[in-house]
């Protein structure tokens, strides 16, 4: 072996981690980048071979004719392996060759027999798309990436929450939750930054994550990757050909569930018409953060919802149910943040609270904090604050027996912007504009 060849092998290699975990895929590793390695043999794909041929036939039945290259792109498998799958279907007289377009690339059409068989397969599972990985491979890959999650520092948390006016002890608790990956329970009166803090902590979850398009459990398919909530990130161009395309590289996700969430949404969503499953929101949040906002206002008893999280918080696993009644165990590796403005005693019991990693009370701001928040938002909005304006505003809060809230400086300033825009005048915070903004925000009560 030449020195040049050895250099290439040293800088770019496939490392097989199966010596440590039999379910972990082989990895392509280079410097600080790693990815699941593309399989070179059908035997390296741990999904049942019948699942792959069935999926290939269902895909083929969707069009009058197709090429190997087209099927490989949609199945997210290497060209030569897809050609092997198609030749198996050809041997079973389910598809036929129409011609050759290049190496390992033929034109095919489904036979009448193949179309009938595909229809029966679609009645069992309507999923057509990228080939799945196993639940074991997904779990092992998620565990590896959770262990290698970049360290979170107090400085990173301080920077992420810099737009919020928080006491130092609150920043300390937030940093502890983010750095440990433990759950966080936020409580306090409304409008004081609980939701903003929960979203800000997601910013410190650096690095990327590999998740599969979907996983297979026997003949059942569960879709994991969701382009509406997952932000895809490209792989290095020179490595993309060596990466298993069944996996997607994403930014560590943030999933937010509010008052619309129901208990049923926390289990697998089975579509009778499509005949496959959609992963619940906390599974899509694996490797990232899951924020339950406005806790206690969901269309379900809060104690029932809390009991749903006892086992996941305790053991970092969750149990989901297929429509057949079969139970499956799936990893629960995420930062859970629960935010509520209701009385804690009314929505949470001690058994749940002791399983939360940290608890943080965000109270209403004092006069100085309110001034600081108002001045900071005005500065960020590039508008000056006249002398004594904030003092007069605070006096009006007191006169009307209103509590100060951290969110209201932003709300009032933005309504001042609306007023100035409507009047076609420069953006300014005059007493008269503030009075109109106050009336429009609070009403006449």
Residue 207 structural domain: 134-361
- CA nearest neighbour of 370 among 389, 348, 346, 350: 389
125 part of a folded domain = yes
**Domains held by the chain: number:** 3
For residues 110 and 192, membership in a common domain is answered with: no
Q: Answer yes or no: do 261 and 336 share one domain.
A: yes
Check the CA dihedral 294-296-298-304 and report its sign. Answer: positive
Q: What is the pLDDT of residue 10?
A: 40
Residues 166 and 313 grouped into a single domain: yes
- Indicate whether 142 and 104 sit together in one domain: no
Distances (CA, A) of 229 to 169, 179, 264: 32, 23, 19
Digits of tens for pLDDT over the chain (445 positions)? 333 333 333 433 444 433 346 789 999 888 778 899 999 999 999 899 899 999 999 999 999 999 999 999 999 999 999 999 999 999 999 999 999 988 878 999 999 999 999 999 999 999 999 999 999 999 999 999 988 888 899 999 999 998 888 889 999 999 999 999 899 999 999 999 999 999 999 999 988 999 999 999 988 999 999 999 999 998 787 787 899 999 999 999 999 988 788 888 889 998 888 889 999 999 999 999 999 998 888 777 887 887 888 889 888 999 999 988 899 999 999 999 999 988 888 888 888 888 888 999 999 999 999 999 999 999 999 999 999 999 999 999 999 999 999 999 999 999 999 999 999 999 999 999 999 999 999 986 5
| Within a domain: 406 | yes
**Domain CATH number, residue 87:** 1.10.10.10
Same domain, 158 and 113: no
pLDDT at 364: 93
Same domain, 260 and 197: yes
Cα separation, 121 vs 61, in Å, equals 11
Is 40 part of a structural domain of the chain?
A: no
Other C-beta atoms closer than 10 Å to the C-beta of 276 total: 20
The predicted pLDDT at position 285 comes to 96
Decide if 282 contacts 319 (C-beta within 8 A): no
Last residue of a domain, one of 98, 115, 131: 131
C-alpha angle 287/291/293, rounded to 5°?
170
DSSP-assigned beta bridge partners for residue 221: 216
**Domain shared by 336 and 379, yes or no:** no
Verify that 276 and 331 share a domain, yes or no: yes
Buried b or exposed e, range 200-212, using 16+ CB within 10 angstroms: bbbebbeebbbbb
3-state secondary structure of 174: helix
Looking at the domain assignment, is residue 31 inside a domain?
A: no
Task: Give the single-character DSSP code of 316.
Answer: S
Task: Say if residue 257 is in the same domain as residue 314.
Answer: yes
Whether 42 maps to a domain, the answer reads no
Last residue of a domain, one of 82, 112, 131: 131
Give the position of tokens 């041997």: 91
Query: In the structure, how many helices (H) and strands (E) does the chain have?
Result: 17, 20
**Contact, 165 vs 365, CB < 8 A?**
yes
Nearest-5° angle of CA 126, CA 216, CA 87? 75
Residue 107 lies in a domain: yes
pLDDT at 16: 41
Q: Rounded to an integer, what distance in angstroms lies between the CA atom of residue 393 and that of residue 378?
A: 14
35 inside domain: no
Q: How far apart are CA 404 and CA 368, in angstroms?
A: 11
**Could you tell me if 142 and 119 lie in one domain?**
no
**Structural domain includes residue 193:** yes
Q: HSE on the CB side for 98, CA within 13 Å?
A: 12
The span from the CA of 5 to the CA of 440, in Å, is: 72
Q: Are residues 253 and 159 in the same domain?
A: yes
In angstroms, rounded to a whole number, what is the distance separating the alpha carbons of residues 27 and 145?
Answer: 12
Is the same domain home to 127 and 158?
Answer: no
Q: Contact, 71 vs 60, CB < 8 A? A: yes
Q: What is the pLDDT of residue 445?
A: 59
Are residues 68 and 106 in contact, defined by beta-carbon separation less than 8 angstroms? yes
Q: Among 82, 99, 131, which residue terminates a domain?
A: 131
Distances (CA, A) of 152 to 115, 181, 230: 54, 9, 22
Dihedral of CA 169/174/178/184: which sign? positive
CATH number at residue 147: 3.40.50.300
What's this model's pTM, rounded to 2 decimal places?
0.85
């Amino acid at each position: 072996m030449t020195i040049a060849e050895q250099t290439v092998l040293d800088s770019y290699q496939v490392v097989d981690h199966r010596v440590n975990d039999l379910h972990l895929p082989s990895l392509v590793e280079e410097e600080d980048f790693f990815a699941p390695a593309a399989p070179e043999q059908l035997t390296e794909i741990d999904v049942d071979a019948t699942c792959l041929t069935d999926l290939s036939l269902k895909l083929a039945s969707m069009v009058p004719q197709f090429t190997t290259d087209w099927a490989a792109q949609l199945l997210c498998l290497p060209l030569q392996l897809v050609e092997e799958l198609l030749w198996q279907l050809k041997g079973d007289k389910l598809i036929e060759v129409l011609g050759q377009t290049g190496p390992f690339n033929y034109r095919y059409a489904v036979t009448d027999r193949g179309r009938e068989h595909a229809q029966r397969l679609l009645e069992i599972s309507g999923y057509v798309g990228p080939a799945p990985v196993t639940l074991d491979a997904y779990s092992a890959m998620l565990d590896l990436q959770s262990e290698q999650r970049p360290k979170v520092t107090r400085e990173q948390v301080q920077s992420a929450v810099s737009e919020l006016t928080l006491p130092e002890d609150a920043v300390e608790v937030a940093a502890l939750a983010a750095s440990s990956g433990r759950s966080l329970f936020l409580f306090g009166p409304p409008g004081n930054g609980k939701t903003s803090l929960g979203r800000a902590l997601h910013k410190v979850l650096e690095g990327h994550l590999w998740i599969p398009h979907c996983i297979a459990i026997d003949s059942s398919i569960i879709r994991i990757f969701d382009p509406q909530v997952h932000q895809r990130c490209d792989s290095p161009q020179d490595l993309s050909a060596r990466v298993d395309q069944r996996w997607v590289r994403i930014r560590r996700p943030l999933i937010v569930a509010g008052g619309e969430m129901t208990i049923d949404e926390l289990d697998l969503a089975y579509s009778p018409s499509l005949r496959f499953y959609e992963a619940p929101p906390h599974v899509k949040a694996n490797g990232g953060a899951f924020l339950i906002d406005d806790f206690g206002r969901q269309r379900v008893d809060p104690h029932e919802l809390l009991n749903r999280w006892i086992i996941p918080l305790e053991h970092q696993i969750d149990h989901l149910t297929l429509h057949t009644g079969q139970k499956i165990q799936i990893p629960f590796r995420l930062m859970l943040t629960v935010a509520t403005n209701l009385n804690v005693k009314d929505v949470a019991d001690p058994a749940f609270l002791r399983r939360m990693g940290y608890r943080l009370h965000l109270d209403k701001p004092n006069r100085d904090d309110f001034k600081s928040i108002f001045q900071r938002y005005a500065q960020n909005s590039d508008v000056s604050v006249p002398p004594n304006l904030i003092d007069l505003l605070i006096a009006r809060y007191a006169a009307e027996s209103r509590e100060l809230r951290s969110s209201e400086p932003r709300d009032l300033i933005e309504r001042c912007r609306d007023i100035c825009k409507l009047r076609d005048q420069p953006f300014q915070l005059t007493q008269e504009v503030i009075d109109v903004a106050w009336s429009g925000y609070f009403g006449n009560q």
